[in-house]
Amino acid sequence: MNVFAPVSYVGRTAAYVVAFIGSIGLLFRDAAARAKPGLFTGRGKRLGRANLWAQMVRVGVKSIGIISLVVFCIGAILSLQMQPILNQYGAVSKIADIIGIAMLRELGPLVAAITLTGFAGASIAAELGTMKVSEELEALESSAIDPIRFLVVPRVFATTVMMICLAVIADLMGVLGGMFVCWGLFGIPPESYLNATFTAAKTRDFVSGLMKSGVFGAALSLIACHLGMTVRGGAAGVGDATTKTVVYTIVALTFIDLGFTAVFYYLGF
């Protein structure tokens, strides 16, 4: 048995992670460089409103239902879990405060992003991966069409914008989930619940969640596009890229959320 095998494995893994992060950074640079001319310049270079709208509908509008359902259930679950503990201290009314702040700052944006990863991120990776193995990307390049401008920028832009919108919807549905449980099971009137939520939650809680959601959306789409456009090995490679997209994105979202939370904690925001 090679005693240096664990060290070698850790080293290879670290090198792969650094290279992957660097590749995502380069893709972001290239997409950002093409975003401005693609959005604002004249005919022949614009991304096309129809293309952008189609991506926004596909990524955002079609995922509203599943995200709303998931976050609503999480709000209800939090209410059921907290009530026995808070009831011991006569503080059942504080459920609204806790759920409101937790949804606005953390759970709303994060759960929405994780759900969107499975709903749209994997789809983006599979779509671009299929185009890669069928040599459609090379066909675009041979036709003097930049794949990053034509494929990546619309998806990154749509996912970033719609992720912010979905975070707002997730915040609302999480609060409503907690409210319906408190109203139906614990006898807390909806008016009292909502008043407590608006009193406890501050503007900075809402803004910090939106800031996170925008970065979540950009990271999600960049990882999906990168893995899709670097597929190798035919159909098996497409499946592998789809799986990696979900796993890598969830890990990345967790670390990004941790970084934001640490910075906000340090700044007192």
Query: How many C-beta neighbours within 10 Å does residue 167 have?
Result: 30
Q: What is the chain's mean pLDDT, rounded?
A: 88
**Mean pLDDT confidence for 129-152:** 86
Tell me, what's the pLDDT at 254? 94
Is the pLDDT at 43 greater than 60? The verdict is no
Is the pLDDT at 168 greater than 90? The verdict is yes
Residue 80 CB partners (closer than 8 Å, separation 6+): 181, 185
Per-residue pLDDT reduced to its tens digit, 182-234 = 998 888 899 999 999 999 888 898 999 999 999 999 999 999 999 999 888 77
Residues 215 and 256: beta-carbon distance below 8 Å: yes
Exposed, middle or buried by CB within 10 Å (0-12, 13-18, 19+), for 40?
exposed
Tell me, what's the pLDDT at 144? 79
Handedness of CA 94, 100, 105, 111 (dihedral sign): positive
Tell me, what's the pLDDT at 219? 95
Is the pLDDT at 40 greater than 60? The verdict is no
Tell me, what's the pLDDT at 225? 94
Tell me, what's the pLDDT at 142? 83
CA-CA distance, 218 to 195, in Å (whole number)?
34
**Mean pLDDT confidence for 229-244:** 88
Out of 2-16, 89-103, 169-183, least confident range: 2-16
Tell me, what's the pLDDT at 163? 95
Tell me, what's the pLDDT at 74? 95
Per-residue pLDDT reduced to its tens digit, 62-110 = 999 999 999 999 999 999 999 888 888 888 888 999 999 999 999 999 9
Tell me, what's the pLDDT at 140? 83
Tell me, what's the pLDDT at 113? 95
What share of the chain has pLDDT > 70, as a percent?
94
pLDDT-based confidence at residue 3 (cuts at 50, 70, 90): low
* pTM greater than the 0.85 cutoff: yes
